[in-house]
Amino acid sequence: TVLVVDYGAQYAQLIARRVREADVYSEIVPASTPVAEIVAREPVAVILSGGPASVYAEDAPALDPALFDTGIPVLGLCYGFQAMARALGGDVAHDGTREYGRTELSLTDTSGALHGGLPSRHPVWMSHGDSVVRAPEGFTVTASSDRVAVAAFEDTDRRLAGVQYHPEVGHSPHGQEVLRRFLHDVAGIAPAWTTASIIDETVDAIRAQVGDGRAICGLSGGVDSAVAAALVQRAIGDRLTCVFVDHGLLRAGEREQVEKDFVAATGAKLHTVDAERRFLDALAGVSDPEQKRKIIGREFIRVFEVATADVLAEETVDFLVQGTLYPDVVESGGGSGTATIKSHHNVGGLPDDVEFTLVEPLRALFKDEVRTVGAELGLPEVIVRRQPFPGPGLGIRIIGEVTADRLETLRAADAIAREELTASGLDGEIWQCPVVLLADVRSVGVQGDGRTYGHPIVLRPVSSEDAMTADWTRLPYDVLERISTRVTNEVAEVNRVVLDVTSKPPGTIEWE
């Protein structure tokens, strides 16, 4: 394991991902982690992240120089580079030298381990106030920039190195190569974190945890639950039961993807619950978004509870599979191991008198790794590449009351939009594209010789990193035209297609 020490920048997760892209397993630890604890985890290397503080600030996160006596290879980035310089006896100036954004790096030593052979001047991404003015004893300065004399240093004998810039961001085009060289060449780590090894290790861990017990897993149609279930299936076979609630608010084809494609790919035992009628009855007459969400959540819990009880009537189940990802683990304060939960406290929809132990096969993985693992396990592309889709489904994409007819209309329009976006190769640029039916709005149109009085649908294509903020995606006009023509021709109730050009904030991604 490579430990990434998080100095409070938003970059730690990105660094950890880049390390894994170099086929080396990584985890994030807080800056407060004592050196003894770091040593106890036996890392093959440590990377010190960037951070917003000045090393001279009162509350600057400390770096214990004892780290450098452990023999563990260390790479310092940005703040980590400066903290490292200081801890080892170099000088950091608080002199107002600032560099933000794209900067040219000039190699001062073209034979260095990290930068040797790269172009002697190349762009990197900088973001710093203070700067290192003298490297510590024993280090070779290998690069400078127009404004700072010491932009990179290394002591390959002691397997220590640092760079002032951010190699982890895409704006540093040689950054990934520099990280690779540190990991593989300087630290001497064998690149062994591959998709095949992830699957093998996870399957072994699941077998060790579950023993000859039984597990249950709720499927949503999305990538996380599908991959988690597929891994558990591979580990324990038929001792896993998957439960899939069809609440009738899914998009075209999604039920079939689970019932046919997922089952064909994994051989998993699937228990599908047909609950469309029940959800529609509960939603009858309701237009308020919050009320709809509450009803859908409540009904989902009830249906899942009944389904679980059905499964439990036949067999004893001790384990519940959840698709928790590594970013959730980091954001909730980290910690490893598996908690035993009283089901109704944490997981909606499980009978009160049953205790499950959680199985979380994706706990160590980032989303892109989950997708790669899913593909390797043979899961259908539509599931593995699926864009985010809200739990309440199409229920919050019909503005107004949810009815069977309206669902059918929206499903047809949504299917066309998705088909055309995929056909034009735009899926990679789009975070997601909700299609919204304005069921309470009518407008006049003309089709053939007749007047129509139908509903508009809204296209809401957005680009985003994490759904917290988003920008509307500039879709090519010809793609918009194809969607518009097809939807108005093929979907009877829709006579107008509207494009949402609002960023988030102020608009949310979904309309409700």
Minimum distance, C-beta of residue 297 to ligand XMP, in the bound complex (Å): 8
Minimum distance, C-beta of residue 511 to ligand XMP, in the bound complex (Å): 8
* By CB under 6 A, residue 388 contacts ligand XMP: yes
Minimum distance, C-beta of residue 390 to ligand XMP, in the bound complex (Å): 3
**If we measure between CA atoms, which residue out of 7, 4, 152 comes closest to residue 90?**
152
Number of residues in contact with ligand XMP under rule CB under 6 A: 11
CA dist., res. 56 & res. 62, Å (int):
10
* By CB under 6 A, residue 509 contacts ligand XMP: yes
* By CB under 6 A, residue 390 contacts ligand XMP: yes
Q: Which is nearer to ligand XMP, 44 or 467 (CB)?
A: 467
CA dist., res. 180 & res. 197, Å (int):
19
Minimum distance, C-beta of residue 398 to ligand XMP, in the bound complex (Å): 14
Judge whether 221 is annotated as a binding position. Answer: yes
Judge whether 226 is annotated as a binding position. Answer: yes
Tokens of 315: 């067999």
Identify whether the C-beta of residue 324 lies closer than 8 Å to the C-beta of residue 215. no
* By CB under 6 A, residue 291 contacts ligand XMP: no
What angle separates helix 223-236 from helix 367-376, to the nearest 10 degrees? 50
Using alpha carbons only, give the angle 283, 284, 286 rounded to the nearest 5 degrees.
70
Q: Which is nearer to ligand XMP, 427 or 510 (CB)?
A: 510
3-class DSSP state of 35? helix
From the candidates 27, 99, 154, 168, give the one annotated as an active-site residue: 168
Place of tokens 């290397």: 45
* By CB under 6 A, residue 467 contacts ligand XMP: yes
Minimum distance, C-beta of residue 502 to ligand XMP, in the bound complex (Å): 11
3-class DSSP state of 161? strand
Residue type present at position 273: V
Q: Which part of the chain contacts ligand XMP (CB under 6 A), choosing from 11-19, 59-67, 327-335, 388-396?
A: 388-396
Tokens of 217: 């897993």
Judge whether 424 is annotated as a binding position. Answer: no
Out of 167, 323, 392, 395, name the contact with ligand XMP by CB under 6 A.
392
| Paired residues of 10 in beta bridges | none
Identify whether the C-beta of residue 342 lies closer than 8 Å to the C-beta of residue 380. no
Q: Which is nearer to ligand XMP, 5 or 421 (CB)?
A: 421
> Residue by residue, what is the 3-state secondary structure of 72-130?
CCEEEECHHHHHHHHHCCCEEECCCCCEEEEEEEEECCCCCCCCCCCCCEEEEEEEECC
Q: How does DSSP assign 462-476, residue by residue?
A: EE-SSSSSBEE----
Minimum distance, C-beta of residue 435 to ligand XMP, in the bound complex (Å): 12
* By CB under 6 A, residue 510 contacts ligand XMP: yes
Burial of 262 (0-12, 13-18, 19+ CB in 10 A): buried
Using alpha carbons only, give the angle 414, 419, 421 rounded to the nearest 5 degrees.
95
CA dist., res. 226 & res. 247, Å (int):
17
Tokens of 179: 């990280």
Q: Which is nearer to ligand XMP, 272 or 503 (CB)?
A: 503
DSSP class of 336: -
CA dist., res. 74 & res. 139, Å (int):
13
* By CB under 6 A, residue 248 contacts ligand XMP: no
How many residues does this entry show for the chain? 512
Q: Which is nearer to ligand XMP, 237 or 388 (CB)?
A: 388
Minimum distance, C-beta of residue 208 to ligand XMP, in the bound complex (Å): 31
Identify whether the C-beta of residue 323 lies closer than 8 Å to the C-beta of residue 219. no
* By CB under 6 A, residue 391 contacts ligand XMP: yes
Q: Which is nearer to ligand XMP, 212 or 465 (CB)?
A: 465
Instruction: Please report, as residue ranges, which positions from 305 to 334 form the binding site for ligand XMP (by CB under 6 A).
Output: none
Q: Which is nearer to ligand XMP, 44 or 499 (CB)?
A: 499
Minimum distance, C-beta of residue 500 to ligand XMP, in the bound complex (Å): 12
From the candidates 99, 115, 128, 166, give the one annotated as an active-site residue: 166
Q: Which is nearer to ligand XMP, 271 or 504 (CB)?
A: 504
Distances (CA, A) of 509 to 340, 389, 436, 462: 35, 11, 11, 7
Instruction: Please report, as residue ranges, which positions from 487 to 506 form the binding site for ligand XMP (by CB under 6 A).
Output: 504
Residue 168 catalytic?
A: yes
Residue 254 catalytic?
A: no
- Side-by-side strand order, sheet with 340-342: 269-274, 240-246, 215-219, 319-321, 355-359, 340-342
Residue 401 catalytic?
A: no
From the candidates 27, 78, 254, 493, give the one annotated as an active-site residue: 78
CA dist., res. 108 & res. 114, Å (int):
12
Residues placed in the known binding site? 220-226
Give me the active site residues, please: 78, 166, 168
Residues placed in the known binding site for ATP? 220-226
Residues that bind ligand XMP (CB under 6 A): 293, 388, 390-392, 432, 467, 504, 508-510
